[in-house]
């Protein structure tokens, strides 16, 4: 009784696996982009909520400094947000977030001064938005809206109807 595999059986198995992997590989990229988008939405929303909570807790104005200008669409993940106790970049660092893990996602904002003020007593943020989407698909935009009043921070799908990545449309 022979034990083991023949060369022909091994080649057939490897060929079948190669075909299956070549069909499945593009789907891994789609799933990876989806996970990155959901993670960025969660982390960015959490960072902004933390900034709001810290302003209330400390009973003082705090600022989130954005590392790139309003006119730039950052596609490489080379951005960061720094929560500081001063409107000056030299203020004490309270919290920090960077985009190293989000290198294939475009991020942009509409803050002229590259900083967001969170008021002391109520923690209300300066009005503005962050928009982000996979570099290769502008139709899958998520938006974080900071509104003042009432001081709400909302994540939504930048479309008139539907749902994307578990977030409802902004309308």
User: For residue 46, what are the domain limits?
Assistant: 34-168
CA 128, CA 109: separation in Å to the nearest integer? Answer: 8
Collapse the DSSP code of 107 into the 3-class scheme (helix H, G, I; strand E, B; otherwise coil) and give the result: strand
φ/ψ (deg, to 5) at 84: -130, 160
Identify the pLDDT of residue 20.
86
Answer yes or no: is 75 within a domain.
yes
CA 99, CA 121: separation in Å to the nearest integer? Answer: 30
Answer yes or no: is 21 within a domain.
no
pTM of the model: 0.84
pLDDT tens-place values along the chain, 171 residues long: 567 778 888 899 999 998 888 887 777 777 788 899 999 999 999 999 999 999 999 999 999 999 999 999 999 999 999 999 999 999 999 999 999 999 899 999 999 999 999 999 999 999 999 999 999 889 999 999 999 888 999 999 998 888 999 999 987
Identify the pLDDT of residue 105.
95
Nearest to 95 by CA among 59, 29, 49, 56: 49
Q: What is the count of structural domains for the chain?
A: 1
Answer yes or no: is 102 within a domain.
yes
Answer yes or no: is 8 within a domain.
no
CATH of the domain at 88: 3.55.40.10
């Amino acid at each position: 009784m022979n034990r083991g595999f023949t060369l022909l059986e091994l080649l057939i198995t490897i060929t079948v696996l190669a075909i299956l992997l070549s069909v499945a590989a593009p789907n891994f990229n789609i799933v990876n982009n989806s996970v990155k988008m959901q993670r960025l939405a969660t982390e960015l929303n959490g960072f902004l909520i933390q900034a709001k909570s810290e302003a209330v807790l400390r009973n003082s104005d705090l600022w989130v400094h954005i590392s790139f200008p309003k006119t730039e669409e950052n596609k490489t993940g080379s951005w960061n947000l720094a929560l500081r106790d001063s409107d000056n970049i030299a203020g004490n660092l309270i919290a920090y977030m960077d985009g190293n893990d989000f290198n294939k996602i475009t991020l942009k904002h509409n803050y002229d001064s590259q900083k967001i003020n969170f008021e002391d007593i109520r923690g209300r943020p300066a009005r503005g938005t962050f928009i982000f989407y996979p570099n290769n698909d502008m139709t899958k935009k998520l938006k974080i809206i900071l509104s003042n009043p009432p001081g709400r921070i909302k994540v939504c799908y930048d479309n008139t109807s539907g749902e994307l990545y578990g977030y409802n449309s902004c309308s």
